[in-house]
Chains A and B, each alone.
Chain A
Amino acid sequence: MPSQLFAESSAAFKQVLAAQMGCTPADYESHRLTVVQRPADSREAHLALMTTCGTGSVVSVRDARLADWARDNAPATNRNQRIFLPSFLEGLAAEALRSGHDGAKSHSATGGTVLAEDVSMPGLPPGIELRELSLAEQSKLREGGRFDNALGEPDELRRIAATRIAFSACLESGEVAAVCGVWDQYPGVDELGLDVLREHRGMGLGAALTIYATQWIRSHGRWPIYTYGFTNVRSANNALRSGYRPRWFLSAVFVPSDMH
């Protein structure tokens, strides 16, 4: 049965997501498709975002012409989740190109989870230390390109500016084996990003860092979220091990240069 924490996390996140998209939380419970204009103060830079919490689906657009296209091409009411099919996403991307959004394309689908359980910190393997990374260390590791999920790519300036903290799992030698970054995704909501170097996987470092960062976020009175690409089964299972449960699903049409 869903936990009290899951219910609270879900309600808080749904409220924030709806505000960012420009819809109401009830739209996600509606069993139909809702098409809305993105509010000017939304932090989301995507041209169009398709989201669902499992029942109703929402298309949120920055350009009203895309809303018209979405309404004209909306799937049947009881098939509202067909907006996540490439036939809809590619059609919307093509409409964005026709509307002058050069370079518009669709993004692969992302699953999102919220916290359902406060998991205790597991024991760490011998010699492993978790510690906060300084800004200089973050910058150096970012340039190395092996911790993109945790720290962002060097040209992701918006994402880097939103970083609140980053933690590493270090070996006795000082080598960084894994990094978990935390950034201010939405008002009151922090997102985690994680990378464990392949040669150090299977030691439980991913879950340890995720739980550690989750506790840090909670101690600051904010809600943590954890997302992953739909094919990334290992990341999905790390989320489950760390106390998270699926809450929403998202696809996007975007112009890459808008995202930096």
Chain B
Amino acid sequence: MDSAYFAEAQRRYRAARAVELGCTTADFESHALTIADRPAVSESLFVFQAVTFGTGTVVSIAPDYREWVTANAPEMHYRAMFPNVLLAPLAEEGKRRGEDLAWRSPNLSFIPGSEIAAVPVPEGLVGRRVERDFHDAHVESATFDNSLGGPGNTFVSALWQYGFVLFDGDTPAAVAGAYHDGDGLREIGVDVAREYRGRGLGPVVVTNLAALIREAGSLSTYYCSPTNVRSHRNALSCGFVPVASGVRVTKPRI
């Protein structure tokens, strides 16, 4: 790991998350629970979001639920991340108020530990950057829903920026997509078509896309569910390092 690179990457990531949450970066180091008012910039993103870097937890909450969250906040800051402590009860509270709230499974957040080098494209395949026309041509197939978004999901579609694809002739074998993830951040989503799995193509598309993101002056981010042990290891093998854990409650279709 390149300490200087990682420190700067960490600074950028924390700054972007603080803007999204409506807190200060110092709140991430407080070893306490910080409850922040959801900023206007995040109104379309979530009703509730909690993030921890392991040294304090920040909960960002929509104004209507601020009082409820404050009254139900756990004593230990990290317990705000546990689904049965705030997330599920908040969704129930929403139901009581006639609002349809959905909570998302927790995720792990990764950023590069050092400058990520693109893994060479295997012989027999062609790798290249793709743009919106590729996205639009393939999103409805639902074959690449991590890298292109799910069919009909206009919210995620709007976040999609560009991608890197390995082609076997005209057939996409592996796809990595870059999504807007806050100021200067691009989230990488990856899929390998079932018949091409087990050939190490995931790290090829991820690292090549990370290189494109870096060339554009942005920072790559990568997320996975903690239950997705294989995706977790894929992130590590590509040079990403876990830095945070997050959970969200949203309105449907976000």
Contact = CB atoms under 8 A, between A and B. Distances in A.
B242 A108 contact: no
Q: How large is the interface on B (under 10, 10 to 19, 20 to 34, 35 or more residues)?
A: 20 to 34
Contact of B241 (A53, A84, A237): A237
A233 B84 contact: no
Given A81-B225, A85-B83, A232-B54, A246 B232 contact: yes
Contacts of A106: 84
B136 to A, nearest CB: 26
Given A230-B245, A231-B52, A55 B230 contact: yes
A111 B236 CA distance: 15
B33 to A, nearest CB: 12
Interface in B81-121: 81-84, 87-88, 105-106, 108
B84 to A, nearest CB: 5
Interface string B187-229: 0000000000000100000000000000000000000011111
B103 to A, nearest CB: 8
B87 A234 contact: no
Contacts of A167: none
Contacts of A210: none
B227 A84 contact: yes
Interface string A191-230: 0000000100000000000000000000000000000011
Contact of A54 (B78, B83, B229, B245): B229
Given A198-B31, A231-B54, A233-B54, A52 B242 contact: no
Contacts of B79: 108
Contact of B88 (A2, A84, A86, A236): A86
B16 interface: no
Contacts of B200: 1
B65 interface: no
Given A198-B31, A232-B78, A240-B241, A90 B52 contact: no
Contacts of A81: 225, 227-228
Contacts of A111: 226
B78 A229 contact: yes
A249 interface: yes
Interface string A1-40: 1100000000000000000000000000000000000000
A231 B229 contact: no
Contacts of B230: 54-55
Contacts of A86: 83-84, 87-88
B88 A231 contact: no
B55 interface: yes
B244 to A, nearest CB: 6
B79, B200, B245 — most chain A CB neighbours (10 Å): B245
Contacts of B31: 198
B83 A248 contact: no
Contacts of A249: 226-227, 229
Contacts of B84: 86, 89-90, 106
A237 B10 CA distance: 14
B54, B81, B229, B244 — most chain A CB neighbours (10 Å): B229
B52, B106, B227 — most chain A CB neighbours (10 Å): B227
A233 B237 contact: no
B167 interface: no
A40 to B, nearest CB: 28
Interface string B36-62: 000000000000000011110100000
A234 B79 CA distance: 16
Interface in A18-76: 52-55
Interface of A: 1-2, 52-55, 81, 84-87, 89-90, 106, 108-109, 111, 198, 229-237, 240, 245-249
In order of increasing CB-CB distance, the 6 nearest A-B pairs are A54-B229, A233-B54, A234-B54, A86-B83, A54-B230, A230-B226
